[in-house]
Protein backbone atom coordinates (compact mmCIF):
# COMPACT_ATOMS: atom_id res chain seq x y z
CA UNK A 1 0.00 0.00 0.00
CA UNK A 2 2.88 2.37 0.83
CA UNK A 3 4.46 1.63 -2.55
CA UNK A 4 1.11 2.32 -4.26
CA UNK A 5 0.70 5.68 -2.50
CA UNK A 6 4.28 6.64 -3.33
CA UNK A 7 3.75 5.72 -6.97
CA UNK A 8 0.50 7.69 -7.07
CA UNK A 9 2.17 10.74 -5.56
CA UNK A 10 5.01 10.46 -8.07
CA UNK A 11 2.49 10.23 -10.93
CA UNK A 12 0.65 13.33 -9.74
CA UNK A 13 3.87 15.32 -9.28
CA UNK A 14 5.36 14.17 -12.58
CA UNK A 15 2.19 14.98 -14.51
CA UNK A 16 1.91 18.34 -12.83
CA UNK A 17 5.52 19.13 -13.61
CA UNK A 18 5.16 18.15 -17.23
CA UNK A 19 2.03 20.26 -17.68
CA UNK A 20 3.66 23.26 -15.98
CA UNK A 21 6.61 23.10 -18.36
CA UNK A 22 4.32 22.90 -21.41
CA UNK A 23 2.06 25.70 -19.99
CA UNK A 24 -0.97 23.44 -20.51
CA UNK A 25 -3.56 23.42 -17.70
CA UNK A 26 -4.06 20.42 -15.47
CA UNK A 27 -6.63 19.57 -12.82
CA UNK A 28 -6.29 17.98 -9.41
CA UNK A 29 -9.48 16.57 -7.93
CA UNK A 30 -10.89 14.75 -4.93
CA UNK A 31 -14.30 13.04 -4.98
CA UNK A 32 -16.28 10.84 -2.61
CA UNK A 33 -19.40 8.72 -2.89
CA UNK A 34 -20.39 5.12 -3.52
CA UNK A 35 -18.76 2.32 -5.53
CA UNK A 36 -19.76 -0.99 -3.89
CA UNK A 37 -19.21 0.80 -0.59
CA UNK A 38 -18.16 4.20 0.75
CA UNK A 39 -15.56 5.35 -1.74
CA UNK A 40 -13.14 8.19 -2.47
CA UNK A 41 -10.86 9.01 -5.38
CA UNK A 42 -8.00 11.40 -6.03
CA UNK A 43 -7.26 12.16 -9.67
CA UNK A 44 -5.10 14.33 -11.90
CA UNK A 45 -6.35 15.33 -15.33
CA UNK A 46 -4.59 16.94 -18.28
CA UNK A 47 -7.67 17.99 -20.29
CA UNK A 48 -6.27 19.33 -23.55
CA UNK A 49 -3.32 17.20 -24.57
CA UNK A 50 -4.49 17.10 -28.19
CA UNK A 51 -7.48 19.30 -28.92
CA UNK A 52 -10.46 18.05 -26.87
CA UNK A 53 -8.60 14.85 -25.93
CA UNK A 54 -6.91 14.50 -22.54
CA UNK A 55 -5.50 12.01 -20.04
CA UNK A 56 -6.73 11.29 -16.50
CA UNK A 57 -5.04 9.15 -13.83
CA UNK A 58 -6.63 8.28 -10.51
CA UNK A 59 -6.47 6.16 -7.38
CA UNK A 60 -9.68 5.17 -5.59
CA UNK A 61 -10.21 3.47 -2.25
CA UNK A 62 -13.47 1.83 -1.18
CA UNK A 63 -14.53 0.33 2.13
CA UNK A 64 -16.47 -2.69 0.91
CA UNK A 65 -20.17 -2.69 1.81
CA UNK A 66 -20.17 -6.49 1.63
CA UNK A 67 -16.92 -8.46 1.89
CA UNK A 68 -18.06 -12.07 2.42
CA UNK A 69 -21.16 -13.61 0.85
CA UNK A 70 -23.52 -14.53 3.70
CA UNK A 71 -25.08 -17.37 1.68
CA UNK A 72 -21.79 -19.04 0.75
CA UNK A 73 -20.49 -22.38 2.02
CA UNK A 74 -16.88 -23.41 1.48
CA UNK A 75 -18.07 -27.04 1.35
CA UNK A 76 -21.54 -28.60 1.55
CA UNK A 77 -22.73 -28.96 5.12
CA UNK A 78 -20.14 -26.63 6.67
CA UNK A 79 -22.67 -23.86 7.24
CA UNK A 80 -23.15 -20.51 5.54
CA UNK A 81 -21.11 -17.53 6.55
CA UNK A 82 -24.37 -15.89 7.61
CA UNK A 83 -24.84 -18.61 10.23
CA UNK A 84 -21.36 -17.92 11.58
CA UNK A 85 -22.10 -14.17 11.66
CA UNK A 86 -25.14 -14.91 13.80
CA UNK A 87 -22.75 -16.59 16.23
CA UNK A 88 -20.40 -13.58 16.31
CA UNK A 89 -18.17 -13.75 13.22
CA UNK A 90 -17.35 -10.46 11.48
CA UNK A 91 -16.31 -9.38 7.98
CA UNK A 92 -14.35 -6.48 6.49
CA UNK A 93 -12.94 -5.62 3.09
CA UNK A 94 -11.47 -2.98 0.82
CA UNK A 95 -11.00 -2.19 -2.87
CA UNK A 96 -8.11 -0.11 -4.20
CA UNK A 97 -8.37 0.76 -7.90
CA UNK A 98 -5.78 2.51 -10.08
CA UNK A 99 -7.17 3.98 -13.31
CA UNK A 100 -5.75 5.50 -16.48
CA UNK A 101 -8.26 7.04 -18.89
CA UNK A 102 -8.43 8.92 -22.12
CA UNK A 103 -10.87 11.84 -21.89
CA UNK A 104 -12.90 13.81 -24.42
CA UNK A 105 -14.27 17.25 -23.62
CA UNK A 106 -17.89 17.84 -24.59
CA UNK A 107 -17.61 21.52 -23.74
CA UNK A 108 -20.18 23.62 -21.89
CA UNK A 109 -23.76 22.36 -21.93
CA UNK A 110 -24.83 25.36 -19.83
CA UNK A 111 -23.04 28.52 -18.64
CA UNK A 112 -20.26 27.40 -16.30
CA UNK A 113 -21.10 23.69 -16.63
CA UNK A 114 -18.36 21.70 -18.39
CA UNK A 115 -18.73 18.05 -19.32
CA UNK A 116 -16.51 15.24 -20.52
CA UNK A 117 -16.53 11.49 -21.10
CA UNK A 118 -13.71 9.10 -20.28
CA UNK A 119 -12.71 5.47 -20.80
CA UNK A 120 -9.65 3.37 -20.06
CA UNK A 121 -7.98 0.62 -18.07
CA UNK A 122 -8.27 -0.40 -14.44
CA UNK A 123 -6.14 -2.36 -11.99
CA UNK A 124 -7.99 -3.43 -8.87
CA UNK A 125 -6.55 -4.75 -5.61
CA UNK A 126 -9.29 -6.42 -3.56
CA UNK A 127 -9.20 -7.74 0.00
CA UNK A 128 -11.69 -9.35 2.39
CA UNK A 129 -11.39 -10.92 5.85
CA UNK A 130 -13.74 -13.22 7.75
CA UNK A 131 -12.91 -13.18 11.46
CA UNK A 132 -14.18 -15.72 13.99
CA UNK A 133 -12.35 -14.36 17.03
CA UNK A 134 -9.80 -16.14 19.23
CA UNK A 135 -7.15 -15.70 16.55
CA UNK A 136 -9.04 -17.55 13.82
CA UNK A 137 -9.52 -15.62 10.56
CA UNK A 138 -9.16 -16.00 6.81
CA UNK A 139 -8.11 -13.23 4.44
CA UNK A 140 -8.73 -13.34 0.69
CA UNK A 141 -6.87 -11.14 -1.80
CA UNK A 142 -7.03 -10.77 -5.55
CA UNK A 143 -5.58 -8.35 -8.10
CA UNK A 144 -7.50 -7.99 -11.35
CA UNK A 145 -7.35 -5.97 -14.55
CA UNK A 146 -10.45 -4.25 -15.83
CA UNK A 147 -11.92 -1.57 -18.06
CA UNK A 148 -14.16 1.36 -17.30
CA UNK A 149 -15.96 4.40 -18.67
CA UNK A 150 -17.88 7.33 -17.33
CA UNK A 151 -19.21 10.86 -17.52
CA UNK A 152 -17.92 13.81 -15.51
CA UNK A 153 -19.49 17.25 -15.13
CA UNK A 154 -18.02 20.25 -13.36
CA UNK A 155 -19.47 23.59 -12.33
CA UNK A 156 -17.20 26.57 -11.74
CA UNK A 157 -17.57 27.96 -8.22
CA UNK A 158 -14.90 30.65 -8.01
CA UNK A 159 -11.51 31.21 -9.55
CA UNK A 160 -10.00 27.84 -10.40
CA UNK A 161 -12.26 25.85 -8.04
CA UNK A 162 -15.08 23.72 -9.44
CA UNK A 163 -17.69 21.34 -8.08
CA UNK A 164 -17.42 18.01 -9.91
CA UNK A 165 -19.71 14.99 -10.27
CA UNK A 166 -18.64 11.60 -11.61
CA UNK A 167 -20.86 8.75 -12.84
CA UNK A 168 -19.27 5.62 -14.24
CA UNK A 169 -19.08 1.88 -14.60
CA UNK A 170 -16.09 -0.46 -14.23
CA UNK A 171 -15.76 -4.12 -15.11
CA UNK A 172 -13.06 -6.41 -13.66
CA UNK A 173 -12.05 -9.76 -15.10
CA UNK A 174 -11.61 -13.03 -13.18
CA UNK A 175 -8.22 -13.39 -11.53
CA UNK A 176 -6.35 -15.65 -9.12
CA UNK A 177 -7.59 -15.54 -5.53
CA UNK A 178 -5.15 -16.02 -2.64
CA UNK A 179 -6.26 -17.09 0.82
CA UNK A 180 -4.44 -17.00 4.14
CA UNK A 181 -5.91 -18.61 7.27
CA UNK A 182 -4.59 -17.83 10.74
CA UNK A 183 -5.41 -20.19 13.61
CA UNK A 184 -5.11 -19.95 17.36
CA UNK A 185 -1.58 -20.89 18.37
CA UNK A 186 0.01 -19.09 15.42
CA UNK A 187 -0.34 -21.71 12.67
CA UNK A 188 -1.21 -20.47 9.18
CA UNK A 189 -2.36 -21.99 5.92
CA UNK A 190 -2.05 -20.33 2.52
CA UNK A 191 -3.52 -21.32 -0.80
CA UNK A 192 -4.05 -19.96 -4.28
CA UNK A 193 -6.99 -20.54 -6.64
CA UNK A 194 -6.76 -19.73 -10.35
CA UNK A 195 -9.79 -19.44 -12.66
CA UNK A 196 -10.65 -22.96 -13.83
CA UNK A 197 -9.40 -24.69 -10.67
CA UNK A 198 -11.95 -27.13 -9.15
CA UNK A 199 -12.25 -25.05 -5.95
CA UNK A 200 -12.30 -21.65 -7.68
CA UNK A 201 -16.07 -21.30 -7.94
CA UNK A 202 -16.58 -21.84 -4.20
CA UNK A 203 -13.94 -19.25 -3.24
CA UNK A 204 -15.13 -16.87 -5.95
CA UNK A 205 -18.67 -17.10 -4.56
CA UNK A 206 -17.50 -16.43 -0.99
CA UNK A 207 -15.11 -13.51 -1.64
CA UNK A 208 -17.24 -10.52 -2.67
CA UNK A 209 -15.43 -8.17 -5.03
CA UNK A 210 -16.42 -6.06 -8.03
CA UNK A 211 -17.38 -7.71 -11.28
CA UNK A 212 -19.38 -4.99 -12.98
CA UNK A 213 -19.37 -2.03 -10.62
CA UNK A 214 -21.37 1.23 -10.80
CA UNK A 215 -19.97 4.33 -9.13
CA UNK A 216 -21.27 7.78 -8.24
CA UNK A 217 -19.05 10.40 -6.62
CA UNK A 218 -19.08 14.14 -6.02
CA UNK A 219 -16.29 16.47 -4.97
CA UNK A 220 -14.04 19.33 -6.02
CA UNK A 221 -11.24 19.99 -8.46
CA UNK A 222 -8.68 22.75 -8.88
CA UNK A 223 -7.24 23.88 -12.21
CA UNK A 224 -3.60 24.93 -12.28
Question: Tens digits of per-residue pLDDT, 137-166?
Answer: 999 999 999 999 999 999 999 889 999 999
SS3 87: coil
pLDDT surpassing 90 at residue 28: yes
Alpha-carbon Rg of the chain, whole angstroms? 21
Residue pair 224/22 in contact (Cβ under 8 Å)? The answer is: no
How many helices (H) and strands (E) are present in the chain, helices listed first?
3, 10
pLDDT surpassing 50 at residue 57: yes
Q: Which CATH superfamily groups domain 35-223?
A: outer membrane protein from Thermus thermophilus HB27. (2.40.160.70)
Instruction: Give residues with Cβ within 8 angstroms of 207, minimum separation 6.
Output: 67, 68, 69, 126, 128, 140, 142, 177
- Report the distance separating Cα 151 and Cα 116, nearest Å: 6
pLDDT surpassing 80 at residue 195: yes
Kindly report the average pLDDT of the chain as a whole number: 90
Confidence of residue 23 (pLDDT cuts 50, 70, 90): low
Confidence of residue 14 (pLDDT cuts 50, 70, 90): very low
Question: Tens digits of per-residue pLDDT, 71-100?
Answer: 999 888 889 999 999 999 999 999 999 999
Domain residue ranges in the chain: 35-223
pLDDT given at position 212: 96
pLDDT surpassing 80 at residue 216: yes
Amino acid sequence: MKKLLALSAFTVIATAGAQTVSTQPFELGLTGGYAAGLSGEVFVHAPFVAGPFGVKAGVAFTRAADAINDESELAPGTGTFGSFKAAGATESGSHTVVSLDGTYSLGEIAPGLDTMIYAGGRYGMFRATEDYGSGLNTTYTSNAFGIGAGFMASYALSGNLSLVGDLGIDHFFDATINSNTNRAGGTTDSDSFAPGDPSYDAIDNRFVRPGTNFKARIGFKMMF
